[in-house]
Structure 1
Amino acid sequence: MREELVSIDIGSTYTKGVLFLRTEEGLRLVRRVITPTTQEDLSRGFGKVYTELTGLPYGEAREEEPRKGEPANTGSSGRRQGEDKASPRVRFSSSAKGGLRIAAIGLVPDLTLQIARLAAWSAGGKIVADSAYKLREDRLSEILRASPDILLFTGGTDGGNEETVLWNAKKLAASPFRGTILYAGNASVRGEVLRILEGKRVVVAPNVMPRVGEIRIEETRAAIQRIFLDTIVEGKGLQQVREFCGTDPVPTPAAVFDLVEAIGTHQEGWDRFCVIDLGGATTDVYSVGESFWGEEGVVLKGLREPWVKRTVEGDLGIRVSAAALWDTVKPYFPVLIRLVWGGSEGNVTSSSLPLEIHRYVEKVTQDTSYVPTSEREKRIDRFLVLAAVAIATLRHGGTLEETYTPTGRIFLQSGKDLRPINALIGSGGYLSLFDLGEPIRELFHLVAQGGLEAGSKGSGKIEMGSMGPGRAEAGRVEGGRGTIGESGSLEGSSHGSARIHLLPKNPSYFRDASYLFPLLGNYAKEYPEEVSRLAIETLVPESGDR
């Protein structure tokens, strides 16, 4: 068996492609090509990459692939020879529209609204606005200003709350919203909701939370991706690409999600890891692992989050969103500066450095392709990268908060516990190019202590007694479902509050140096074991012994 597989990703800035050769021995990378995305006609950049990868013309009718088991005539490069050769299989992904914009409406913030967010993120979407409880005019106005492609309308268990769901349906019916409304709420009032929304573009999926605590998002995820296909092909030239490939595009973040899930499922030892994909406009975080470990004295508040989770932060890019990132990071400025510059800047709050960073942010926002030239600018870029990584992971992970009950003290866990994560993969731009394992671990340590905030001076300790069976050293988990912290002490805020951020303790760092993850992800559904193995084999570990 020798089969050529072409994978192409059409991004907002660059169109990237690879040629793989699939044999009995597995998957092998043959060639990689990158070219600027041709925004006026996306098929032109796609065609250029396809031809450079295969040596075949783009745009002509493609012959069917060889039948399973039929040998293909290939040369030493893996490319078929002769004029009568069959075309290679082609899969492609796209984020050329800047991602699918989704607004989410739910009933309770920690329940249906959070599930709606998880469904949107896992489908490759970006949450641009949300609302809980009854939809008020100010929240509706905010949603309309955000111009979402999809309004994900959830709320109520099946047979549960009807009043709020119907209220929200009437508000949406009277609104000027012209995008697609995806209803995935209380099934008991689905018919009435559809009647109220008559005249709107409405798609229906099963309730994302049919019973309290039960998460059902796969059908909603699939519906979002179907809507994506109807939306994304409106881009110039994409319908032509779709017809040429004979397949639909996948949202780029969804391709990465599929690959991350395949790695966690098929690669031994990779059942607790994170991927951070840093871009000019957003920072995406993916995590694989149990979200709640059942430690003694810890009670889960809200949802038990899924084994594979994605979040996307639209205000944490290092070019398009650099200004928003700069505004977000200001409370953490002194500690981040010390981490990047050491003590060389003296009193950073009275130095010229904040003004320098501000001017650099203005420069890269106006010229998003700008590459730093001086050592000073390179350090500022590093500062922005570490800030985006720290805040994005902070938002992705959960927290423990101390509270008291009549039977004594307990800890409430919200969100996903990332402490057992033992590997971190940097992907995209800066994270693919540079070894940042040590500063990222130091950042996570500071965040877990509550030490990123200005003026912090160390950490408090919250004693928790036994952490349950299978105890291990902090930051390391023994066995498939061990727990965390042999000493029984957890770190709390330096300000005396008992809030603990559940971030990775001591992960090893790897780089997706060739930025193959989106391209491998295009085949993750078809060949999960093979693409996930190649993904791990092509990672670059951090330098030096740990």
Structure 2
Amino acid sequence: MNLLTADIGSTYTKLTAIDTIRKKIIATSAAFTTIETDVMEGFMSAYAELEQKIGVFHYDEMLCCSSAAGGLKMVALGLVPELTSKAAKLAAASAGAKVVKTYAFEISQTEQTEIFDINPDLVLLCGGTDGGNKEVILANARRLCQIDRAFTIITAGNKSASFELEEIFSASAKPFVITENVMPEFNKLNIEPARQKIKELFISRIIEAKGLSRIQQMCKTDIIPTPLAVLNACELLSKGTKNATGMGDLMAVDLGGATTDVYSISDGKPTLENVIVKGLPEPFSKRTVEGDLGMRYSLLSLADELDLDTLSQELDIDKSDISNWVKTCAGNPDTLAQPQSAEQKIEESLAREAVKIAVERHVGTYQPAYTPFGQVFALTGKDLSAVPFVIGIGGAIINAENPQYILEGAKGQTDDLIYTKPRNPKYLIDKKYIFASMGLLSSAYPDLALELMKNEITPTHY
């Protein structure tokens, strides 16, 4: 049986042809995603390239994921700043949403105006443990209903407020859904119900992108968010199946045109002695998305994060040349650097910096703390310093002359104990860009997907 998987991204549409009988990837292809006109154009271009490689290809089933609409813009409201922000980002992480802003306590009139200006697709309304404070979540519900924007509200707060919340929302024109509390008890997360609702909303919205409804008709199953597909693949490769073992703990970095996504599959327990763990517990399977770190659509904001004078000295390239390349790529996302050119050096250095910043935002941090019994270390987040594998995904990595150089941005330095980045990882690369494809495959064909990943994920080398 032949399968076709399609990953319709913000920059490229990637197709993978698979023979399930011979357990083989027949071929892959890619074309620029034509989001401004009709995504079917990019799909058909990629399909034509596929058939140029292998001849006429007939498939029995097609599976698809997409991030072509750029994900859902989301704001989150809650009671306590740190808890709301963390819970909201974790709930949104693999469901196709991007948290633009978080708010705590009762929102002000100024913050109402700010939410109007953001014009989010989705508002996640949290607040209060079950049986705890419900005044704040009720006040915020009323104020959200006063904002004249067509966002959907997902409420995942104090269950004791559910009756009043339903009355408030039913009296307004706002679409809403009420689900389980993201934090039913203090410091206890319950993000899966909210994440499922976000995913369902993503699926309903994603097919509104031009042409995606036609691709949905070609599939037997729902189009799912690309980040969810990649996370599924990471989990499968790490944990294995009942018939085959996985690789164990790993980190994957997906460097795209609009975002840099980092995935870690690890319990993240402390590797140092005398450690106090602070903050909310982290999920075993974690994804973070950095919407300001990308190699094309977000390249200007990435450049703003960097010291271009230092980068210029390191590369021995004029700062003006770096700035001009950034502006050119941001304005023309299909721009490619010539092999072994100065632009290629700039491109790979920018990619390395994007990986470095994204991984530092993803991992936990250690800070010294002092107690009556002496100095200890306070760990916030996951300690990923012992993770043995870092896998590179995304065109800027897999098409680079020196992918290992880029991935070394994820490595922890011996003189920097703050960030718990992998200290001595092996670098692997998704050379054929199949992670999303294998994530699509994982639900119905997990053993096949695992075998293909083990065969296709290769070491990097200079």
Which position in structure 1 is the counterpart of 2:304?
327
Q: Distance in 1 between matches of 2:305 and 2:387?
A: 26
Which position in structure 2 is the counterpart of 1:115?
87
Runs of 4+ more than 6 Å apart: 76-80
Which position in structure 2 is the counterpart of 1:436?
403
Q: Distance in 1 between matches of 2:293 and 2:117?
A: 20
Q: Distance in 2 between matches of 1:379 and 1:49?
A: 28
Q: In structure 2, do the counterparts of structure 1 residues 524 and 147 end up closer, same or farther at CA, with 3 Å as the change threshold?
A: farther
Deviates more, 1:109-118 or 1:319-328: 109-118
**C-alpha contact (below 8 Å) 2:96/2:202 kept by paired residues:** no
Q: Distance in 2 between matches of 1:215 and 1:372?
A: 45
**C-alpha contact (below 8 Å) 2:127/2:137 kept by paired residues:** yes
1:426 partnered with 2:422: no
Alpha-carbon shift at residue 136 of structure 1 (Å): 2.8
**C-alpha contact (below 8 Å) 2:353/2:409 kept by paired residues:** no
Which position in structure 2 is the counterpart of 1:231?
205
Alpha-carbon shift at residue 155 of structure 1 (Å): 1.8
Q: In structure 2, do the counterparts of structure 1 residues 294 and 204 end up closer, same or farther at CA, with 3 Å as the change threshold?
A: farther
1:151 partnered with 2:123: yes
Written as runs of structure 1 = structure 2, the 5 A alignment for 1:364-383 is: 364-373=329-338, 375-383=341-349
Written as runs of structure 1 = structure 2, the 5 A alignment for 1:313-462 is: 313-330=290-307, 334=310, 340-341=314-315, 345=316, 353-373=318-338, 375-434=341-400, 435-438=402-405, 440-441=407-408, 444-446=411-413, 449-450=415-416
**C-alpha contact (below 8 Å) 2:12/2:33 kept by paired residues:** yes
**C-alpha contact (below 8 Å) 1:181/1:201 kept by paired residues:** yes
Q: Distance in 1 between matches of 2:398 and 2:297?
A: 19
RMSD: 2.6
Q: In structure 2, do the counterparts of structure 1 residues 113 and 29 end up closer, same or farther at CA, with 3 Å as the change threshold?
A: same
Which position in structure 2 is the counterpart of 1:181?
153
Candidates 510, 524, 542, aligned match of 2:428: 510
Secondary structure at 2:306 match in 1: helix
Deviates more, 1:39-48 or 1:205-214: 39-48
The letter of the residue matching 2:15 is: G
Alpha-carbon shift at residue 377 of structure 1 (Å): 1.6
**C-alpha contact (below 8 Å) 1:262/1:529 kept by paired residues:** no
Candidates 182, 199, 216, aligned match of 1:208: 182
Q: In structure 2, do the counterparts of structure 1 residues 376 and 295 end up closer, same or farther at CA, with 3 Å as the change threshold?
A: closer
TM-score by length of 2: 0.90
Q: Distance in 1 between matches of 2:74 and 2:429?
A: 30
Which position in structure 2 is the counterpart of 1:12?
10
The letter of the residue matching 1:327 is: D
Alpha-carbon shift at residue 439 of structure 1 (Å): 6.0
Written as runs of structure 1 = structure 2, the 5 A alignment for 1:57-76 is: none
Q: In structure 2, do the counterparts of structure 1 residues 78 and 419 end up closer, same or farther at CA, with 3 Å as the change threshold?
A: farther
Per-residue Cα deviation, 1:485-504 (whole angstroms, up to 9, x for no partner) = xxxxxx3xxxxxxxx11111
Q: In structure 2, do the counterparts of structure 1 residues 295 and 13 end up closer, same or farther at CA, with 3 Å as the change threshold?
A: closer
Which position in structure 1 is the counterpart of 2:256?
279
Equivalent pairs, count: 453
TM-score by length of 1: 0.77
Which position in structure 2 is the counterpart of 1:349?
none
Structure with bigger gyration radius: 1
Secondary structure at 1:230 match in 2: helix
1:35 partnered with 2:31: yes
Q: In structure 2, do the counterparts of structure 1 residues 186 and 270 end up closer, same or farther at CA, with 3 Å as the change threshold?
A: same
Q: Distance in 2 between matches of 1:362 and 1:78?
A: 40
Q: Distance in 2 between matches of 1:109 and 1:262?
A: 34
**C-alpha contact (below 8 Å) 2:71/2:202 kept by paired residues:** no
**C-alpha contact (below 8 Å) 1:113/1:155 kept by paired residues:** no
Which position in structure 2 is the counterpart of 1:70?
none
**C-alpha contact (below 8 Å) 1:43/1:241 kept by paired residues:** yes
Deviates more, 1:517-526 or 1:36-45: 36-45
Which position in structure 1 is the counterpart of 2:133?
161
Alpha-carbon shift at residue 158 of structure 1 (Å): 1.0
**C-alpha contact (below 8 Å) 2:77/2:127 kept by paired residues:** yes
The letter of the residue matching 2:396 is: Y
Which position in structure 1 is the counterpart of 2:43?
46
Q: In structure 2, do the counterparts of structure 1 residues 443 and 416 end up closer, same or farther at CA, with 3 Å as the change threshold?
A: closer
Candidates 270, 277, 287, aligned match of 1:300: 277
Secondary structure at 1:501 match in 2: coil
> How much identity, in percent, do the aligned residues show?
36
Alpha-carbon shift at residue 51 of structure 1 (Å): 7.1
Per-residue Cα deviation, 1:365-388 (whole angstroms, up to 9, x for no partner) = 111111123722222112211110
Per-residue Cα deviation, 1:234-281 (whole angstroms, up to 9, x for no partner) = 122222222232321111111111111111220645221111111121
Q: Distance in 2 between matches of 1:365 and 1:407?
A: 53
Alpha-carbon shift at residue 301 of structure 1 (Å): 0.9
Q: Distance in 2 between matches of 1:325 and 1:48?
A: 30
Per-residue Cα deviation, 1:75-99 (whole angstroms, up to 9, x for no partner) = x99967xxxxxx6011111111122
Q: Distance in 2 between matches of 1:270 and 1:78?
A: 36
The letter of the residue matching 2:403 is: L
Which position in structure 2 is the counterpart of 1:251?
225
Alpha-carbon shift at residue 224 of structure 1 (Å): 1.0
Secondary structure at 1:157 match in 2: coil
Q: Distance in 2 between matches of 1:36 and 1:361?
A: 19
Alpha-carbon shift at residue 305 of structure 1 (Å): 0.4
Alpha-carbon shift at residue 100 of structure 1 (Å): 2.2
The letter of the residue matching 1:99 is: G
Q: Distance in 1 between matches of 2:42 and 2:300?
A: 30
Q: Distance in 2 between matches of 1:313 and 1:442?
A: 15
Per-residue Cα deviation, 1:154-175 (whole angstroms, up to 9, x for no partner) = 1221112212212221221222
Q: Distance in 2 between matches of 1:317 and 1:530?
A: 32
Structure 1: tracts of 5 or more residues without a match: 56-75, 81-86, 346-351, 451-490, 492-499
Secondary structure at 1:437 match in 2: helix
1:135 partnered with 2:135: no
Q: Distance in 1 between matches of 2:248 and 2:115?
A: 37
Written as runs of structure 1 = structure 2, the 5 A alignment for 1:89-100 is: 89-100=61-72
Q: Distance in 2 between matches of 1:141 and 1:536?
A: 50
Q: Distance in 1 between matches of 2:90 and 2:27?
A: 35
Which position in structure 2 is the counterpart of 1:463?
none
Deviates more, 1:508-517 or 1:133-142: 133-142
**C-alpha contact (below 8 Å) 1:441/1:507 kept by paired residues:** no
Written as runs of structure 1 = structure 2, the 5 A alignment for 1:523-538 is: 523-538=441-456
Structure 2: tracts of 5 or more residues without a match: none
